[in-house]
Amino acid sequence: MQAPAHTRALIEIDKLNLYYGTFHALKNVSMEIPEKAITAFIGPSGCGKSTLLRTLNRMNDMIAGTRIEGKIAIGGADIYSKEVDVETLRKKVGMVFQQPNPFPKSIYDNVAYGPRLHGISGRKQLDEIVETSLRSAALWEEVKDYLKRSALSLSGGQQQRLCIARALAVEPDVLLMDEATSALDPISTLKIEELAQELKDRYTIVMVTHNMHQAARVSNQTVFFLNGEVVEYAETEKLFSTPRDQRTEDYISGRFG
């Protein structure tokens, strides 16, 4: 197995094993995730792709009974070492969830939440961050006159773009998207996919998707998981046109999953 070598690797995962209690959820996973590109994790339900994603910002820490072996380095720093501050890590590695989860606050306060957490309180500065983030998430034009409205009044697709804006507001380097379009209608999905394409010039994006076609449409490299193992890892075009592994071929041609 070799990494597609057209860009520098930002995230290096080395022989990672993860257990939920006695369940061995990730088995000896190694890979390199390139900088400023979209990497997609595909595979059937329960294959460990979301679990791996959540190890990248240590959201698995909060699940009792999780045990991790191996190493994950982001920009060369081992994120599971004692010296790493989880809050700073999560600021640098943003996340968008499967269900749009804006806070029951105004649109403005949703985007400003992260910067405020990290100590920014100047009105002008916040205004600027809110506008830039909403523009980056392609939502500004739709909501600029309603910033004081509740975020819950937005449609599902708008809510998800708001969540992306909220994640971008703390200036992350990496953006994790955990099946971020699976609860959305096709048009909203398309918008988020276009957005991901624009964002990849500035951010390293890792997305988990149920939808192979989505991976094929938007990602630069694709990782195929099965039962907690990485089966195949290649540039997206290569993986879909000439899969090396029989199981990959079976999956992408719809024979299981």
Q: Considering the complex, state which of residue 99 and residue 125 has its C-beta at the smaller distance from other proteins.
A: 99
Which of the stretches 68-76, 110-118, 183-191, 228-236 binds other proteins when contact is defined by CB under 8 A? Answer: 110-118
Task: State the minimum distance, in angstroms, from the CB of residue 96 to other proteins.
Answer: 8
Q: Considering the complex, state which of residue 90 and residue 135 has its C-beta at the smaller distance from other proteins.
A: 90
Among 1, 5, 63, 117, binds other proteins (CB under 8 A): 117
Site string for other proteins, 6-45 (x = CB under 8 A): ----------------------------------------
Q: Considering the complex, state which of residue 90 and residue 238 has its C-beta at the smaller distance from other proteins.
A: 90
Q: Is 106 in the site for other proteins (CB under 8 A)?
A: no
Among 2, 23, 62, 76, binds other proteins (CB under 8 A): 62
Q: Considering the complex, state which of residue 99 and residue 253 has its C-beta at the smaller distance from other proteins.
A: 99
Site string for other proteins, 66-95 (x = CB under 8 A): ---------------------xxxxx--xx
In three-state form (DSSP H/G/I as H, E/B as E, the rest C), the secondary structure along the chain is CCCCCCCCEEEEEEEEEEEECCEEEEEEEEEEEECCCEEEEECCCCCCHHHHHHHHCCHHHHCCCEEEEEEEEECCEECCCCCCCHHHHHHHEEEECCCCCCCCCEHHHHHHHHHHHCCCCCHHHHHHHHHHHHHHCCCHHHHCCCCCCEHHHCCHHHHHHHHHHHHHCCCCCEEEEECCCCCCCHHHHHHHHHHHHHHCCCCEEEEECCCHHHHHHHCCEEEEEECCEEEEEEEHHHHHHCCCCHHHHHHHCCCCC
Task: State the minimum distance, in angstroms, from the CB of residue 152 to other proteins.
Answer: 8
Q: Considering the complex, state which of residue 59 and residue 239 has its C-beta at the smaller distance from other proteins.
A: 59
Among 27, 36, 71, 105, binds other proteins (CB under 8 A): 105
Number of residues that bind other proteins (CB under 8 A): 26
Burial group, residue 76, by CB count within 10 angstroms (0-12, 13-18, 19+): exposed
Site string for other proteins, 198-237 (x = CB under 8 A): ----------------------------------------
Task: State the minimum distance, in angstroms, from the CB of residue 222 to other proteins.
Answer: 24
- For the CA atoms of 27, 59, 161, 181, the dihedral, rounded to the nearest 10 degrees, stands at 30
Q: Is 34 left (phi over 0), alpha (psi -120 to 50) or beta?
A: beta
Distance, CA of 227 to CA of 65 (rounded, Å): 19
Interface with other proteins by CB under 8 A: which residues? 57, 59, 62, 87-91, 94-95, 97, 99, 101-105, 113-114, 116-118, 163, 166-167, 170
